[in-house]
């Protein structure tokens, strides 16, 4: 099995993790100081969100230079030392590669907008007819009215799928494609283990289409993959493509495009199943998830640095999710919900752990979001998605142990409210408290690692024998068998397992019967779960 197929990923914002020089911003040296923690937690691979020079209008996804590091994070030497330190601990690191666009501050755009005759004009997509490509949807619905923005300087419109401060690159220009391969080369040469590739579906524009998932985009991805396989074997490409499973499948190609894709459709359905106390949404989406090529893997997640996206659900389900999880309209953003994991489920430890249990036992390699392992909260008072990007809470000291800077200098106020504040929600207190959320998540991670069937084992539902308000399934492979039981409701449920006898390495609730191979009964407490393996 390839390393990424059964790896535990951990996404973090450098800015938010740990500030080593007391300027109020997390940095690379700070991350190095916290690698012991990530190793202790059992993380296999870090994902660093963009740390390139940037005006930070989209928190670094607006790149002003692809070949550097934002001064607030440190120097290139820091980066190299950090990669070495990560590797020394047996972990790996992937970084964000923002392929679709740059910042409007990028020198390419500055030059391109200078005049219509600029030699770099064709690095971007220009028109004097802003009705072009009108079938392309607007993604940042709450802020943008069009995918075209008028450029005062050169008197034409330029194309942008995200903020207007992020002009899209023109992939029809072979020079742009060549530049991107140079960027890929530069970072892989520094020893990183791969890329989380941002906003993949939107690279090309064609009239009369949605300008998403076009064949030309797959062509470029294949080129990038070939390049990496030849020159940097063992590295990984992970796609951020927020699409339906059938549109995601082509991004794996014949394992000649991405080795991994985020499974966007399953994520909201885990929450939906909990809200409805019914398993059907999860089963439906997993049954509609096509098999992926050998050597490929889904990346699964509960939350990330963006809003909990409801793009991949029906209009009816979206309304349901908004009403259930974001009755306060301030929590709604674009087509999603800007909340962290713990507040989404009212800080209910049972539901938090149940969601993690589903994440760790369903197919895919789990990607954790920093802070969610301790149940951090969010701050709806902060703009855009900043409320879910607040400083990591290390201890109950000043600024939650994140920084020694004065509070006013911090890039963002740490969470300090009575429910989720760093006074009691922090790493230190949970490290020393048995059965804290952090300890339990760590136990799940270690259990998962000792059960290789969870890597690529096939999925088989236990439907007929079990009630609707549970999610019970087998994972099976040459590496063994695991039976996962989840209770989706706030009352006890008894599940009868017809054959075999099992022991439970992990779970909550009572197990009775079994032993003679004639089956057994498991009582799952409200929102309880069990991982069962065949008794020896």
Residues near ligand NOJ, by CB under 6 A: 58, 61, 98, 162, 198-199, 240, 305-306
* Nearest residue relative to ligand NOJ (C-beta): 61
Catalytic residues: 198, 240
Best CA proximity match to 522, nearest among 534, 514, 510, 533 = 510
Supply the minimum distance, in Å, between the C-beta of residue 343 and ligand NOJ.
Answer: 20
The SS3 of residue 327 is coil
Provide the token pair at 263.
Answer: 């499974």
Helices (H) and strands (E) in the chain, counts: 16, 22
Best CA proximity match to 298, nearest among 280, 310, 286, 312 = 286
Supply the minimum distance, in Å, between the C-beta of residue 471 and ligand NOJ.
Answer: 28
If the CB atoms of residues 25 and 61 are measured against ligand NOJ, the closer one turns out to be 61
Supply the minimum distance, in Å, between the C-beta of residue 13 and ligand NOJ.
Answer: 10
Beta-carbon contacts of residue 383 (< 8 Å; ≥ 6 apart): none
The SS3 of residue 228 is helix
Beta-carbon contacts of residue 469 (< 8 Å; ≥ 6 apart): 277, 278, 279, 487, 488, 489, 493
Evaluate whether 304 touches 264 at the Cβ level (below 8 Å).
Answer: no
Apex CA 490: angle with CA 487 and CA 492, to 5°? 60
If the CB atoms of residues 52 and 252 are measured against ligand NOJ, the closer one turns out to be 52
CB-CB neighbours of 476 under 10 Å: 15
Best CA proximity match to 469, nearest among 453, 448, 486, 446 = 486
Supply the minimum distance, in Å, between the C-beta of residue 264 and ligand NOJ.
Answer: 11
Taking the C-alpha atoms of residue 68 and residue 57, their distance in angstroms, rounded to an integer, is: 17
If the CB atoms of residues 199 and 239 are measured against ligand NOJ, the closer one turns out to be 199
If the CB atoms of residues 162 and 252 are measured against ligand NOJ, the closer one turns out to be 162
Evaluate whether 103 touches 109 at the Cβ level (below 8 Å).
Answer: yes
Supply the minimum distance, in Å, between the C-beta of residue 304 and ligand NOJ.
Answer: 7
Supply the minimum distance, in Å, between the C-beta of residue 81 and ligand NOJ.
Answer: 27
If the CB atoms of residues 58 and 353 are measured against ligand NOJ, the closer one turns out to be 58
Strand 194-198 and strand 92-98: the pairing is parallel
If the CB atoms of residues 333 and 352 are measured against ligand NOJ, the closer one turns out to be 333
Supply the minimum distance, in Å, between the C-beta of residue 398 and ligand NOJ.
Answer: 29
If the CB atoms of residues 232 and 251 are measured against ligand NOJ, the closer one turns out to be 251
Taking the C-alpha atoms of residue 93 and residue 192, their distance in angstroms, rounded to an integer, is: 6
Best CA proximity match to 104, nearest among 189, 20, 163, 192 = 163
If the CB atoms of residues 166 and 501 are measured against ligand NOJ, the closer one turns out to be 166
The SS3 of residue 97 is strand
Q: Which long-range contacts (CB under 8 A, 24 or more apart) does 67-73 make?
A: 67/183, 67/186, 69/28, 72/15, 72/23, 72/25, 72/27, 73/14, 73/15, 73/25, 73/26, 73/27, 73/28
Supply the minimum distance, in Å, between the C-beta of residue 364 and ligand NOJ.
Answer: 18
The SS3 of residue 161 is coil
């Amino acid at each position: 099995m390839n390393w990424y197929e059964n790896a535990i990923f951990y996404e973090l914002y450098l800015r938010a993790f740990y500030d080593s020089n007391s300027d109020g911003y997390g940095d690379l040296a700070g991350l190095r100081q916290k690698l012991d923690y990530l190793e202790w937690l059992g993380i296999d691979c870090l994902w660093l969100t963009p740390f390139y020079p940037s005006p930070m209008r989209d928190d670094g996804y607006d790149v002003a230079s692809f070949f550097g590091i934002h001064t607030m994070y440190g120097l290139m030497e820091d980066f190299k030392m950090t990669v070495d330190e990560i590797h020394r601990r047996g972990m790996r690191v992937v970084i964000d590669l923002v392929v679709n666009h740059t910042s409007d501050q990028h020198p390419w755009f500055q030059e391109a907008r200078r005049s219509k005759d600029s030699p770099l004009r064709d690095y971007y997509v220009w028109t004097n007819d802003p009705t072009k490509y009108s079938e392309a949807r607007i993604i940042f619905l709450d802020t943008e009215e069009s995918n075209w923005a008028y450029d005062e300087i050169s008197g034409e419109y330029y194309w942008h799928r995200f903020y207007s401060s992020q002009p899209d690159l023109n992939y029809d220009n072979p020079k742009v494609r060549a530049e991107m391969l140079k960027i890929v080369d530069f970072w892989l040469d520094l020893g990183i283990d791969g890329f989380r590739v941002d906003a993949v579906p939107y690279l090309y524009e064609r009239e009369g289409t949605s300008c998403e998932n076009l064949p030309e985009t797959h062509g470029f991805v294949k080129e990038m993959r070939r390049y990496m396989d030849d020159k940097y074997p063992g590295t990984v490409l992970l796609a951020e493509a927020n699409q339906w499973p059938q549109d995601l499948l082509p991004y794996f190609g014949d394992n000649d495009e991405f080795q991994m894709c985020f499974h966007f459709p399953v994520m909201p359905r885990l929450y939906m199943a909990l809200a409805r106390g019914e398993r059907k949404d999860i089963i439906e989406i997993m049954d509609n998830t096509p098999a992926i090529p050998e050597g490929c893997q889904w990346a699964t997640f509960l939350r990330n640095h963006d809003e909990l996206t409801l793009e991949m659900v029906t209009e009816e389900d979206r309304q349901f999710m908004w009403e259930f999880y974001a009755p306060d309209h301030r929590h709604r953003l674009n087509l999603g919900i800007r909340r962290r994991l713990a507040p989404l489920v009212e800080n209910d430890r049972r539901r938090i752990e149940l969601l993690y249990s589903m994440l760790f036992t369903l197919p895919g390699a789990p990607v954790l979001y920093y802070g969610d392992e301790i149940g951090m909260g969010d701050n709806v008072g902060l703009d855009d998605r900043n409320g879910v990007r607040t400083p990591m809470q290390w201890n109950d000291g000043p600024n939650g142990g994140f920084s020694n800077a004065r509070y006013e200098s911090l890039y963002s106020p740490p969470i300090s409210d009575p429910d989720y504040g760093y006074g009691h929600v922090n790493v230190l207190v949970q490290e020393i408290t048995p059965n804290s959320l952090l300890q339990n998540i760590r136990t799940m991670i270690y259990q998962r690692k000792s059960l290789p069937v969870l890597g690529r084992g096939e999925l088989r539902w236990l439907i007929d024998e079990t009630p609707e308000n549970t999610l019970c399934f087998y994972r099976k492979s040459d590496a063994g068998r695991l039976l996962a039981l989840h209770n989706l409701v706030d009352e006890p449920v008894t599940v009868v397992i017809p054959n075999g006898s099992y022991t439970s390495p992990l779970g909550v609730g009572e197990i009775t019967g079994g032993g003679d191979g004639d089956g057994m009964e498991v009582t799952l407490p409200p929102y309880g779960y069990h991982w069962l393996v065949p008794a020896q």
